[in-house]
Amino acid sequence: MRDYFGDSDEAGADRRSLPRVAPASKVWAAVDNETRDEMLGMAEVADFNGLGLTLRGMPGDPVAAAGDRLWVTLIAEEGIIPLRARIVHASRDCVFGVRLSVPDEPGQLFLIKLYEHAAARAQNQTSATD
């Protein structure tokens, strides 16, 4: 798996990244490109680490490039949350590496809960095969 989030933080703060996890149940994202004023559609969250996500399966041929600002609304079993984000990587096969802007406190708690559920499920799956 490629790490799309290896570049330095914009503010220069030292943020430690969590290990990337793939959600056990589907997590979807409704994506709007704020920079180009377009709705890009729905995508599947392939993996995430709290600081960013990988979005896969955007329908059609969306017009998006690295640096574009997005509104990403995550839709999961735990709930729904709108987030601001920036594309840090876009591939030809419509896989986007997205860095999330730091949300307010309720948003941070939601992301932590979502990450903990996915990490716990991933841990349970690997423990069962050990």
Tokens, residue 1: 């798996």
Instruction: Give residue 125's pLDDT.
Output: 63
CA 121 to chain CA centroid, Å, is: 18
User: CA-to-CA distance for 31 and 40, rounded, in angstroms?
Assistant: 5
With a cut of 60, say whether residue 1 has pLDDT above it: no
The residue that leads in pLDDT, 89 or 9, is 89
Global pTM value: 0.75
**DSSP 8-state code for residue 21:** B
Reported as a single tens digit per residue, the pLDDT across 43-58 is 999 988 877 899 998 7
Domain 28-129 falls under CATH 3.40.50.300: no
With a cut of 90, say whether residue 115 has pLDDT above it: no
Nearest one of 108, 27, 105, 36 to 70, comparing CA atoms: 36
Reported as a single tens digit per residue, the pLDDT across 4-42 is 555 544 554 555 567 778 877 789 999 999 998 999 899
